Amino acid sequence: MSDSVDPRVLGAFATHYGVLSRKQLLGLGVTPAEARRRVRNSDWIRVRHGVVTTAQIWAGLDEYVGRPLLLARATILQLRHGWVLSHDSAAHLLGLAILRPHGPQVHVTRPGFTNTWSKNGVTHHLASFDATQIVQIDGLASLDRARTAVDIARERGVRHGLVACDSALRMGIARDELEHAHAIMRRWPGVRAARTCVELGDAGAENPNESLARELVLEAGIGVPETQFPVRTREGVKWCDLRVGNHVIEADGRTKYQSTDEGGVASKPADAVAWDERKRERLVRDRRLGVTRLYWEDYWGARRADAITRLRADHADSVARFGSTLPETMAREAEAIRRASPRTTPPKGALPGVG
């Protein structure tokens, strides 16, 4: 900052999750002239009319979750009692993995006859919900994970909704809770898409990439994919993302090739990771299973049709070579592996995909 700031003001930013309103600043002894000067000097950033954060706080937040959540906090400071976070804003608060929409907005909901309008970067929803669907986290009121996932499905369609519902199930939400959230939405816009996502949701999809791969497999019409299929090889058990019959589908993302310093999960150089992947694929193929690899780019635009064509051809080749049904011995083996060492993976955060 250009000059010293009362440390109590900086402490207030920290204890109020990064944002302070004009009223709060005045209560801390900050004059309107000082506040304007700090915004003008870029020490503080005006995130909503009458609400600021510090440049340091803003710079430390990512564009996919951190900054949108800060904007949601700033919005709630200005609203009358009764509004709660919902949709994307609730997902960010609750840790749900979602696809980033075109033109991100802050979303808030309060009880009322179903209606929606947007103004100044905020989408306001009127909709029915009950008190049991409200949770309090870090000083913010929000609709819960089940309702949020179903709302996103209803608002944005199957692709976004499937990612959100998979994430909710992965985080421990029971399908009954999704059913309950959906039940109140009779005759609401988008309710059929929400119904589809509740039915198709699968906790075995470990991240949005795998959710999108499941959707693509279903669209290809080759069968209903089973998630997290274990294959015993001569070098140990290898878990495959999806399986249909004697064909497995791997959803590859860049994070597995990026180091932790770059935001990925790789503990070795990218070329070593790629080489390990090739060896792993060979081991899986040695068990008489075909393999298709899907990439994030395969889910969008013209590449989607190409990916579906490739997947159908790969699957047909596996059927011709190995049959259409998984051998009973391999099915029993997989079930035994699951019982002995169930696959558990911590929830992943939101990804920067745009549907």
Phi then psi dihedrals of residue 46, to 5 deg: -80, 110
Output the average pLDDT for the chain: 90
Identify the burial level of 130 via C-beta atoms within 10 angstroms of its C-beta, where 0-12 means exposed, 13-18 middle and 19 or more buried.
Answer: exposed
Res 277: pLDDT:
83
Residues contacting residue 300 through CB under 8 Å, at least 6 positions apart: 355
Residue linked to tokens 């870029």: 42
| Mean pLDDT in residue range 160-188 | 96
Would the pLDDT of 101 be above 90? no
- Residue 59, sorted as left (phi over 0), alpha (psi -120 to 50) or beta, turns out to be alpha
The CB-based long-range contact list for 190-193 (8 Å cut-off, 24+ gap) reads: 190/153, 190/154, 190/155, 190/157, 191/154, 193/153, 193/154, 193/157, 193/158, 193/161
Would the pLDDT of 261 be above 90? no
Poorest-confidence range of 183-187, 325-329, 343-347? Answer: 343-347
Residues contacting residue 268 through CB under 8 Å, at least 6 positions apart: 276
Question: Which of 212, 211, 168, 199 shows the shortest CA–CA distance to 303?
Answer: 212
**Residues linked to residue 229 through DSSP beta bridges, in sequence order:** 240
Q: How confident is the model at residue 274 (pLDDT cuts 50, 70, 90)?
A: low
pLDDT tens per residue across span 304-317: 999 999 999 999 99
Q: How confident is the model at residue 262 (pLDDT cuts 50, 70, 90)?
A: very low
Would the pLDDT of 272 be above 80? no
Residues contacting residue 302 through CB under 8 Å, at least 6 positions apart: none
Res 266: pLDDT:
40
Instruction: Count CA within 13 A, CB hemisphere, residue 17.
Output: 16
Identify the burial level of 179 via C-beta atoms within 10 angstroms of its C-beta, where 0-12 means exposed, 13-18 middle and 19 or more buried.
Answer: middle
Query: In this structure, what token pair is assigned to residue 184?
Result: 């109140």
Tabulate helix, strand, coil % of the chain (nearest 5): 50, 20, 30
Quick one: which H or E segment has residue 21? strand 20-21
Would the pLDDT of 258 be above 60? no
* Percent above pLDDT 70 for the chain: 90
CA distance 291 to 326: 14
CA distance 11 to 166: 38
Residue linked to tokens 């190409």: 306
Would the pLDDT of 239 be above 90? yes
Would the pLDDT of 324 be above 70? yes
Would the pLDDT of 353 be above 60? no
Res 349: pLDDT:
38
Would the pLDDT of 342 be above 80? no
Query: In this structure, what token pair is assigned to residue 101?
Result: 């929409």
Pairing of strands 20-21, 51-54: antiparallel
